[in-house]
């Protein structure tokens, strides 16, 4: 009877996981979906705690208490600009936990001496992937937090052979355990080599690819959890891990396509975060500056305005100011839309989350494929802190590192106003040819202050 209750609870938990995941497809239902999935996890944890023979209750309660004390305040206090770092850090913790569980299982079973072959293989796979994901996620966190340099850090042509060597050493330790090795040195070596592999894989990847890397590491952590669940015969870990692994893999593939790059090319590293690459052109490198008053006049006489948000908007926390600006324009009869590039910001959905926080109507958000045809009919496009995703060199300059990457066709607008602090390049380290276009005007300064000034000027007209 007890087993029936446990399995029934697991089924309820999985249903809540899937239903919650469905809610994450839109900003209006995302919060509810997140809460439903969290409730599913609570049910899964309760089901696991009901497992017969489970002991060390005080240790379990201590772990829950420590996790709550650290996790809840961190999640509540994190700023939206630091959300990508938080995601990377939490993902790394998951991978590290899986690696530690594999280590404990190795010790408690005498080196998997009397375990079935699939248990041994699944545990070792989970240990390798979980450990690599933990350290890789920490490097991603360091790059995003600017503790580590955002540029690629590698040993040049030796990087890929070195990665392969470390991977083979990890696999070699795993094979030795499978064929009967029970010494803790083998398992320790596997974890060390896997950790080094995680560092070596992520360090050479530049800042421009960090959103894809976070998604890829998230998928890896999910797969390691599923493998560990198979070894432990824990249904919750298997299902939850597969959901995370599958969704993370799909998202990684979609983002890689949005950048017109393959996942192996991203993992190979060497792109983004370096010295700025100059935009090709006719040699005229001058830019045209504007003021808040002039920008307000342009916007007031427009029929359609498109706002293109980027990481600069997140840094300035300008989403609420942008919402107020849009409201003022709409009161004057101007149609306002928001163009969302799949890799804008520093994590998947970064701009959607920011705009949803400011109560921007979801029907005003347009994905890249939906909005690109509208730019040529747009009077003014307002670019706020978006760099690489608006760079026309991706279409026009075959020598550009981002050539072929799908972008927002901002340069097709009748006029463009770019809000930036300075002329510094984006995360990819590439100068933006858009800034030198004759139809583009630059408004330098803090994005929130600039948007607020434009709004005040609009109200005065």
Residue linked to tokens 């992520």: 202
The two most distant CA atoms of the chain are separated, in Å, by: 81
Angle of the 210-232 helix axis to the 235-258 helix axis, nearest 10: 160
**Separation in Å, CA 84 to CA 43, 345, 425:** 28, 9, 20
Give which of 226, 340, 345, 299 is closest to 460, Cα–Cα. Answer: 299
Q: In what order do the strands lie in the sheet with 380-384?
A: 288-289, 440-444, 416-420, 380-384, 304-309, 335-340, 365-367
How many Å is the Cα radius of gyration of the chain?
Answer: 25
Tell me, what DSSP letter sits at residue 278?
P
The whole-angstrom separation of Cα 444 and Cα 441 is: 10
Count other Cβ atoms within 10 Å, centred on residue 7: 12
**Tokens for 86?**
């938080």
Q: Which of 233, 282, 331, 388 is catalytic?
A: 388
256: β partners: none
Query: How would you classify the pairing of strands 440-444 and 288-289?
Result: parallel
338: β partners: 307, 365
Helix (H, G, I), strand (E, B) or coil at 382: strand
Contact 268, 423 (CB under 8 A): no
Give which of 159, 194, 346, 165 is closest to 268, Cα–Cα. Answer: 159
What proportions of the chain, in percent to the nearest 5, are helix, strand and coil? 65, 5, 30
Q: Is 388 a catalytic residue?
A: yes
Report the half-sphere exposure of 431 (CA within 13 A, side-chain side): 16
The whole-angstrom separation of Cα 5 and Cα 26 is: 34
**Tokens for 176?**
């030795």
Count other Cβ atoms within 10 Å, centred on residue 404: 12
Give which of 185, 162, 190 is closest to 174, Cα–Cα. Answer: 190
What dihedral do alpha carbons 227, 231, 234, 235 form, nearest 10°?
50
Residue linked to tokens 């961190």: 74
Catalytic residue annotation:
388
């Amino acid at each position: 009877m007890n087993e029936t209750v446990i399995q029934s609870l697991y089924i309820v938990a999985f249903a809540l996981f899937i239903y919650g995941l469905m809610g994450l497809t839109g900003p209006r239902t995302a919060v509810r979906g997140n809460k439903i999935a969290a409730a599913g996890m609570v049910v899964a944890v309760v089901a696991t705690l009901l497992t017969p023979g489970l002991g060390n209750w005080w240790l379990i309660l201590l772990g829950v208490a420590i996790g709550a004390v650290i996790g809840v305040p961190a999640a509540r206090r994190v700023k939206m600009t630091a959300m990508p770092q938080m995601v990377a850090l939490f993902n790394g913790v998951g991978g590290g936990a899986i690696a530690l569980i594999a280590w404990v299982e190795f010790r408690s079973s005498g080196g998997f001496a009397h375990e079935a072959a699939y248990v041994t293989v699944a545990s070792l796979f989970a240990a390798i992937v979980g450990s690599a994901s933990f350290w890789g996620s920490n490097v991603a966190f360091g790059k995003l937090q600017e503790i580590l340099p955002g540029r690629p850090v590698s040993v040049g042509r030796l990087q890929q052979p070195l990665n392969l060597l470390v991977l083979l050493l990890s696999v070699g330790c795993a094979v030795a355990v499978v064929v009967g090795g029970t010494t803790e040195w083998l398992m320790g070596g596997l974890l060390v080599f896997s950790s080094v592999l995680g560092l070596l894989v992520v360090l050479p990847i530049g800042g421009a690819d960090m959103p894809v890397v976070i998604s890829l590491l998230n998928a890896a952590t999910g797969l390691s959890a599923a493998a560990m669940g198979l070894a432990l015969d824990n249904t919750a870990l298997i299902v939850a891990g597969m959901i995370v692994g599958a969704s993370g893999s799909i998202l990684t593939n979609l983002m890689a396509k949005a950048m017109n790059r393959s996942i192996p090319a991203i993992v190979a590293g060497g792109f983004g975060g370096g010295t700025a690459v100059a935009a090709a052109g006719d040699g005229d490198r001058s830019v045209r500056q504007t003021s808040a008053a002039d920008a307000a006049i342009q916007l007031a006489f427009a029929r359609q305005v498109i706002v293109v948000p980027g990481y600069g908007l997140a840094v300035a926390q300008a989403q609420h100011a942008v919402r107020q600006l849009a409201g003022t324009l709409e009161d004057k009869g101007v149609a306002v839309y928001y163009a969302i590039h799949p890799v804008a910001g520093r994590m998947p959905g970064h701009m959607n989350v920011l705009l949803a926080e400011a109560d921007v109507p979801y029907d005003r958000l347009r994905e890249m494929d939906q909005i690109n045809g509208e730019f040529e009919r747009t009077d003014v496009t307002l670019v706020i802190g978006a760099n690489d995703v608006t760079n026309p060199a991706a279409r026009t300059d075959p020598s550009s590192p981002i050539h072929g990457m799908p972008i927002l066709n901002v340069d097709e607008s009748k006029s463009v106003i770019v809000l930036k602090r300075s002329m510094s390049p984006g995360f990819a380290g590439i100068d933006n040819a858009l800034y030198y276009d004759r139809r583009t005007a630059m408004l330098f300064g803090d994005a929130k202050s600039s948007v607020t000034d434009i709004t005040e000027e609009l109200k005065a007209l």
